[in-house]
Structure 1
Amino acid sequence: MRSWWTWCPTSQGALQNAEARILSFIKTKFEDTTVQISNNNKINTVCINTEMGKRHIPLVMMHGFGSGIALWVRNLDSLSKSRPLYCFDLLGFGRSSRPRLSNKAEIVEAQFVESVEEWRKAVGLNSFILLGHSLGGYLAAAYALRYPSRVKQLILADPWGFPQRPTTSDLSRRPRVPVWIRAIVFLMQPFNPLAILRAAGPWGMPAHAFVSVLV
């Protein structure tokens, strides 16, 4: 029996096995596949009831930050009863590719939106119902604004949102943020907030389970 103090191993194989264990709870027959897009990137995808074809509008589901396909495991059976269903790992999440993204917000948004459009073309969908959760809600809205003809209905579940950037006059009326808080924010900018899970060692699995419960 492996000691609890053993360093928590990570690999594509371990990730695939963990995902397979979670997806085993799906009762409906499904296909776990990889969709190739540009720049040799791939998007991990689960498809259910695709044989329904054009008779019903497909449902496409986009997960949120720090999540993946497995987020939907308790919903997939019921949501796929009357229509084809597709869910996928966004780039940088789950078993999808982890390309280098821009550090500029507008460009990153465009990179995600275009990856979804490339995925749509590769899968062969003409139009669909798009459901996004959290960060996926933000990206789903961004996609719908860029490609409105592809989205029959847009469903946003606890979506992210960003207010308009304040003007100089607005900033002068806001309470001044303490220097120590601004220093912490500046120092944390280069780091992925989920990196702590990767570095948690023997506490990796318990920590990940705790974060999963919160999410």
Structure 2
Amino acid sequence: MQTILIIEDEKDLAELVAFNLEREGFRVMTAHDGLTGLDQASRIKPDLVILDLMLPGLLGTEVCKTMKRNEKTAAIPVLMLTAKGEEIDKVVGFEVGAEDYVVKPFSTRELILRVRALLRRAATPPSPGSVVKVGPLTLDVERHSVAIDGAEVSFTSTEFKLLHILVQRQGRLQSREVLLRDVWGYAFVEDSRTVDTHITRLRGKMGAAGELIRTVRGFGYKIEL
């Protein structure tokens, strides 16, 4: 039975989410402030954390950042659950390492679909080991590392998977919907801005090499020399 930790200060909401997840067969634990949630994440090592952004004691961004810096909890997928839905809030959430983002109010069905998609991704081993080079970019699948002009660059697990798919399909145009399906495991067309946000993050981290990622207006993206 997979364990999910909900860190949410609204107790009624936490209980509602817990009830629906338990009905789907998950074991659920809850915490109502950031410090308690961080302690539980470290002790019980859940399969996934659902994390509110605005928490007493320690903000959700700090909880996520601390988890991703700790080797014991770094691999645990984090789903941000928050009332803040501005683009900058999503960028901040992804910047500190969150794998996905759901804005309140949300449908329980969508939340469960996203939870299952994140758990599938976490359980999927990397494809057969290989080193792929595209111009100044070197992607090592086995080491889960990326280097640009020989210098290693740090990417979150989601950023790495997105970049890996684009590199694997070099020169082939990928729609936002296809990327949502293959990277995030779902295809909510109305959420295609998630892809755009991650592409922006990728380009920013890649520096001049970010120009390898081409935008095809109105459709999607591809990597091309």
Q: What TM-score results when the alignment is normalised by the length of structure 1? A: 0.27
Higher gyration radius (CA): 1
The higher-RCO structure (CA 8 Å, 6+ apart) is 1
Q: Normalised by the size of structure 2, how large is the TM-score?
A: 0.27
